[in-house]
Structure 1
């Protein structure tokens, strides 16, 4: 019997994952990760860890599997929370869920599981693992979940071949309603439980209060840039090379105070992100204002009216060499090569046609269509069919 350690989160997905593995004849151990101690910034009743660990314990009891709680809050603070503060401070918008999977669930947690003699770890993610066998070699594939509405492959876009080798995704072939039905039939306490929202394993966090622990409020101005501002009149069409064209199209618009008018005040540019609508508290416009750029050095937020504002859109982004990650290392592009892919820049976004171009300093992703709010610090992930090939941090 192979031993599997399941990350039991106290939700329905990991509960059913544990049950399915037991049915398949694995020796299953349930482990709950405690990643957070500070309740002052979590929104009460939205996934407090105590309730979750209790639910996880009751599920383990019902399934007749051993259960324990591991405290990873120190590693979580170092690898996720401190990273978030650093990113926000320099005006980037991190994705803690992607990081949490790479650094906590499939690294720290995986090591603990292997120490417990596990052959595999398993999670309740909606994605699948494929194996390609050539000669004596096995190459692992990260495939989208069967449930298109719940596919979570994007969150796992930073996993490596080594991590995939020891990972199982038991519910990847199921839809969410099917998972709920199994839990209902088994009378599990998690059957009707709502999906947890917010930060991985922390729950819903009030982001401004959370960030204010480290990043001090600092009053600045909100500037509204009109759609017909001079800054948008750049229409270069002649380029010496494809690389020059991509570099030009990937360059952000550069705004200055006198490009628009001051319409309000804010408490810190580092609390805001591109594409954000909430929290600006500026009235008097026909359509809502959206953040089109933040300048953390000058502490200015630039906004545009309406979700079709020119400042929100471009179709090329860049990823630096040190932030490119190939899940399929065997398909990594060499300098000068290109690849037709489908790509997304956020979870739940429909996959869009794109081409990736590898150059000496990194790679460009050129989308067929304009993309709204391409945000530095977030992850772009690229696919062929339903396989996620690689990803990178938008620079």
Structure 2
């Protein structure tokens, strides 16, 4: 196969490219330029898309002896990921930009361009597994399923839950059967200079990790009230977009709770520009409605038993789920806390990813 290896400049994508080459594929390395003002040097482990990263990717490609290109997708990234991120927070939701980037950039824009140029597939350094199983609907054919990685600490199947069957058919994740420690050791054996390079984490386009400050620069200060569930004003905020359900720190309440117990954000209401706080027990939910459903294969028929996960490295909770038109209904076997609209719920059957949806509502059944 002719394969585009997405090379971020990190150790994972370097080893992924080398494994695809060893497997006998014709591999071309591609670095995605996603920043419209890429820094010369990486300032922290949070950032990415620096000129340093592009240089690291090129050096690995040179060592492997494969062609290497930089594809400019900064404008697409700005529109589909960054601007979406700002709009979601302004609307009182808590988005996951990594899922949006995988959906809109790496497995839409990148894959579409690769296919248009005559390539067969895209390979990335994500920690997840593709498993081929017999497909009864195709004579002698197989179906590709998305499964968790063997290393639970690095498993990234959650952020890949937005991929559909057609995208999975043209995707490779060569690292899914390996632990991170083994990947670093393999990179060192191959002589890659990135073998000990720190991982990037958190939100890649907010290098200092200060999400509230970053949003305030773009949305401006929007002072409003922090209230309890009865509407009593307890404090002020500079913008409801700076708060998310389940948050406890940084509330700055001037009125202590009568029982002395801590308060948590239980809702943000952008229309009235208020932040609602309450006791911890109010955070528990067991009923989720998700929209923008994405299935990693056939949509489930009827009510199915699944595991539901609402954070990238959160726990999986036993649940039942069913498709409801373009929406998904999920009922958890027990209540969980800190579930906010805008987050994604990803459904599993064993280690297999069934699909995902964006949380529209969360409450109690």
- Are positions 1:328 and 2:297 aligned together? yes
Q: Distance in 1 between the 2:307 and 2:109 partners?
A: 31
Contact 1:196 1:203 in 2 (8 A): no
Residues 101, 301 of structure 1: alpha-carbon distance in 2 compared, 3 angstrom cutoff? same
Q: Distance in 2 between the 1:212 and 1:280 partners?
A: 16
Once the two structures are superposed, residues 342-371 of structure 1 have per-residue CA deviations (whole angstroms, 9 ceiling, x without a partner) of 110111112110011444673321111111
Q: Distance in 2 between the 1:6 and 1:359 partners?
A: 37
Q: CA RMSD in A?
A: 2.3
Q: Distance in 2 between the 1:194 and 1:68 partners?
A: 23
- Are positions 1:148 and 2:122 aligned together? no
Aligned equivalent of 1:167, options 164, 168, 171: 171
Question: Equivalent residue for 1:191?
Answer: 195
Q: What stretches of structure 2 of length at least 5 have no aligned partner?
A: 361-365
Aligned equivalent of 1:342, options 307, 321, 326: 307
Aligned equivalent of 1:265, options 226, 236, 254: 236
Question: Equivalent residue for 1:26?
Answer: 25
Question: Equivalent residue for 1:217?
Answer: 221
**TM-score, normalised relative to structure 1:** 0.83
Aligned length: 351
Contact 1:34 1:73 in 2 (8 A): yes
Once the two structures are superposed, residues 139-194 of structure 1 have per-residue CA deviations (whole angstroms, 9 ceiling, x without a partner) of 22111111111110000111011111111111111111111110111221111111
Q: Distance in 1 between the 2:347 and 2:168 partners?
A: 17
1:287 Cα deviation after fit: 6.3
1:205 Cα deviation after fit: 4.7
Once the two structures are superposed, residues 295-315 of structure 1 have per-residue CA deviations (whole angstroms, 9 ceiling, x without a partner) of 11121212245xxx1121111
Map residues 345-364 of structure 1 onto 2, 5 A cutoff: 345-359=310-324, 362-364=327-329
Once the two structures are superposed, residues 236-292 of structure 1 have per-residue CA deviations (whole angstroms, 9 ceiling, x without a partner) of xxxxxxxxxxxxxxxxxxx3413xx51x32110022111223433458786654322
Q: Distance in 1 between the 2:23 and 2:125 partners?
A: 16
Residues 385, 288 of structure 1: alpha-carbon distance in 2 compared, 3 angstrom cutoff? same
Question: Equivalent residue for 1:112?
Answer: 113
Contact 2:293 2:326 in 1 (8 A): no
Classify the secondary structure of the residue corresponding to 2:51.
helix
Contact 1:315 1:371 in 2 (8 A): yes
Question: Equivalent residue for 1:14?
Answer: 13
Q: What stretches of structure 1 of length at least 5 have no aligned partner?
A: 226-254
Question: Equivalent residue for 2:363?
Answer: none
Q: Distance in 1 between the 2:120 and 2:323 partners?
A: 37
Classify the secondary structure of the residue corresponding to 1:152.
coil
Residues 277, 15 of structure 1: alpha-carbon distance in 2 compared, 3 angstrom cutoff? farther
Classify the secondary structure of the residue corresponding to 1:294.
strand
Question: Equivalent residue for 1:76?
Answer: 77
- Are positions 1:301 and 2:275 aligned together? yes
Classify the secondary structure of the residue corresponding to 1:394.
strand
1:132 Cα deviation after fit: 2.3
Q: Distance in 2 between the 1:361 and 1:170 partners?
A: 32
Residues 301, 341 of structure 1: alpha-carbon distance in 2 compared, 3 angstrom cutoff? same
1:91 Cα deviation after fit: 0.6
Contact 2:300 2:322 in 1 (8 A): no
Residues 166, 357 of structure 1: alpha-carbon distance in 2 compared, 3 angstrom cutoff? closer
1:210 Cα deviation after fit: 2.7
Classify the secondary structure of the residue corresponding to 2:218.
coil
Q: Distance in 1 between the 2:161 and 2:129 partners?
A: 13
**TM-score, normalised relative to structure 2:** 0.89
Aligned equivalent of 2:212, options 208, 228, 236: 208
Residues 117, 359 of structure 1: alpha-carbon distance in 2 compared, 3 angstrom cutoff? closer
- Are positions 1:291 and 2:290 aligned together? no
Question: Equivalent residue for 1:62?
Answer: 63
Contact 1:3 1:28 in 2 (8 A): yes
Q: Distance in 2 between the 1:139 and 1:21 partners?
A: 20
Question: Equivalent residue for 1:176?
Answer: 180
Q: Distance in 1 between the 2:336 and 2:178 partners?
A: 31
Residues 282, 189 of structure 1: alpha-carbon distance in 2 compared, 3 angstrom cutoff? farther
- Are positions 1:315 and 2:289 aligned together? no
Question: Equivalent residue for 2:342?
Answer: 377
